[in-house]
Structure 1
Amino acid sequence: MTTAPAPAPRPDSPGPAVRAVGLRKTYGSGDTAVRALDGVDVAFDAGRFTAIMGPSGSGKSTLMHVLAGLDEADGGQVFLGPTELTSLDDKRLTLLRRARVGFVFQSFNLLPMYTAEQNITLPVELAGGDVDRAWLATLVRTLGIEGRLTHRPAELSGGQQQRVAIARALITRPDVVFADEPTGNLDSRSGAEVLSFLRTSVRELGQTVVMVTHDPTAASYADRVVLLADGRIAGTITDPTPESVLAGLDALRGPELIGGEALAR
């Protein structure tokens, strides 16, 4: 009889799963140049759920894409654990993303001809590995999709499709999962369920999650919120609530923003 692995403990003082040092990124040139990241220094602790927020154009999506190795920085460094991503060539970066990074997007990106289970296990099979059936069982039980594994995406609700996408992101036991507006295409109930599952993956499965969102309620599911403004870190909010997140965003637009630094809440 196969026994599912016990949940990973949540460390009291985790180190960074991913961090950026002096990160810079500019789009365009001359008078039309947009500095999306302007010397960003930030770290995201292992075994924690962190949300990235900021006004439109603040650089939050660019930061996530560069941290995940999906976009190239103009300057600075990104580290995934001890590994510097910014020094890797395309081939090694692709292999690293496949093995050590998970992704959850606003669009579910499931293959319509595959069943839910086939979609979940696809990253392992693409890497030529063997699926850990006990870990798969733990994921689908935690996400509540045991009875949906033989269904194709068209036979699943939006919330169920996103749960399948989360399981797919977690199946390789990645160092970090990056979630880009994961509730953007969901109704409020399904969105709350997905956010609860992401939080559960952190607290019960020991996962690290970094999520970009524009929704203060979504951000309140995280352990910490990192605020961006004009491509710079503008503050942090620990143990966030929707109200404290709204107050933090309001501070970015008001007199509390001094020299690119907002008051931490």
Structure 2
Amino acid sequence: MTTFAPFPRPSGQPASAAAPAVEAFELSKHYGKADARVTALDGVSVSFEAGRFTAIMGPSGSGKSTLMHCLAGLDTPDAGRILLGGTEISALNDRQLTALRRERIGFVFQAFNLVPTLNAEQNITLPLALAGSTADPAWFDYVVGTLGLKDRLTHRPHELSGGQQQRVAVARALLTRPDVVFGDEPTGNLDSKAGGEVLAMLRRSSQELGQTIIMVTHDPVAASYADRVVLMSDGHLVGDLDNPTTGSVLTALGKLGA
């Protein structure tokens, strides 16, 4: 596995904060109507501490992806409140919500979501470009160097391996130093070696930079990199594991029939 250099901490930035990074109160979300109505979230309340790496797990259809999409402002709950660093995102209009996602949230998706016509460097800096800002050169160099991308910055996505594309996506998510990084099965398309290195990078960004990571995954090995695992079933929170291991996650999922 790749050996990473220590993270440079921005001046004055604490390792963690006391206030929750994200809080949800009585979230409900339904899809369909009448007999086809499905309850994805049923009065879910949960808090995610700042500076921790949390995995959300559960059987297919448990509501884990819906919860993450609502927390990240990508979907709107039918009822309930969501606070991101004290900002109630349900009270924001579309323009304000777009700005919040761009400036305070990072995303790492299973499908990478890179722009095919842009090279790696342009994909990494895209959120800043959209905000009319530029990257801190020292931080940019550190992130791309740590992720092994320095010699791939002029390559377009089709010229990169799957692991390299996901590293670009991780670099893009970390570059703005967002309040929260959301990961939706971020290693689902990677081999075990590349996936392990991406997960190690996310874990270290939490431990050493105080970055808050919230990741949906079905993989107990991926979840073992987290500080905490939140378990869901049928739209409810049904369990909470601290300091998870692959074994403890497998046991908990087994009890859910996952």
Q: Report the TM range for the smaller structure's normalisation.
A: over 0.9
How far residue 113 of structure 1 moved from its aligned partner, in angstroms, is 2.2
Q: Distance in 2 between matches of 1:220 and 1:195?
A: 10
Q: Distance in 2 between matches of 1:200 and 1:159?
A: 18
How far residue 110 of structure 1 moved from its aligned partner, in angstroms, is 1.2
Question: Are positions 1:164 and 2:159 aligned together?
Answer: no
Q: Report percent identity of matched pairs.
A: 64
The equivalent position to 2:129 in structure 1, one of 122, 125, 133, is 125
Per-residue CA distance 1:135-174 (angstroms, 9 max, x = gap): 2112112222222222222222111110110110111111
Q: Distance in 2 between matches of 1:183 and 1:135?
A: 24
TM-score, structure 1 normalization: 0.90
How far residue 179 of structure 1 moved from its aligned partner, in angstroms, is 0.3
Q: Distance in 2 between matches of 1:147 and 1:62?
A: 37
Question: Are positions 1:175 and 2:193 aligned together?
Answer: no
Per-residue CA distance 1:63-96 (angstroms, 9 max, x = gap): 0000000001000000001100111111111111
Question: Are positions 1:27 and 2:31 aligned together?
Answer: yes
Q: Tell me what 1:222 maps to.
A: 226
One-letter code of the match for 1:10? Answer: A
Alignment of 1:1-265 (within 5 A): 5-6=8-9, 8-11=13-16, 14-253=18-257
Q: Distance in 1 between matches of 2:14 and 2:151?
A: 28
**Count of residues in correspondence between the two structures:** 250
Q: Distance in 2 between matches of 1:178 and 1:129?
A: 22
Q: Select between 110-119 and 15-24 the one with higher mean Cα deviation.
A: 110-119
TM-score, structure 2 normalization: 0.93
One-letter code of the match for 2:121? Answer: E
Q: Distance in 1 between matches of 2:15 and 2:155?
A: 33
Asked if structure 1 preserves the Cα contact closer than 8 Å seen for 2:125 and 2:134, the reply is no
Q: Select between 74-83 and 132-141 the one with higher mean Cα deviation.
A: 132-141
- Which runs of 5 or more structure 2 residues have no equivalent in the other structure? 1-6
Q: Distance in 2 between matches of 1:17 and 1:71?
A: 18
Q: Distance in 2 between matches of 1:10 and 1:216?
A: 27
- 1:171–1:210 CA distance, 2 compared to 1 (3 A): same
Q: Distance in 1 between matches of 2:205 and 2:156?
A: 24
How far residue 5 of structure 1 moved from its aligned partner, in angstroms, is 4.8
Moved over 2 A (4+): 4-11
How far residue 131 of structure 1 moved from its aligned partner, in angstroms, is 1.8
Asked if structure 1 preserves the Cα contact closer than 8 Å seen for 2:9 and 2:208, the reply is no
Between the two structures, name the one with larger relative contact order (CA 8 Å, sep ≥ 6). 2
3-state secondary structure, aligned to 1:173: coil
Q: Distance in 2 between matches of 1:130 and 1:180?
A: 26
How far residue 211 of structure 1 moved from its aligned partner, in angstroms, is 0.3
Q: Tell me what 1:261 maps to.
A: none
One-letter code of the match for 2:64? Answer: K
How far residue 9 of structure 1 moved from its aligned partner, in angstroms, is 4.2
Give me the CA root mean square deviation: 1.6
Per-residue CA distance 1:203-226 (angstroms, 9 max, x = gap): 222211100000001100000000
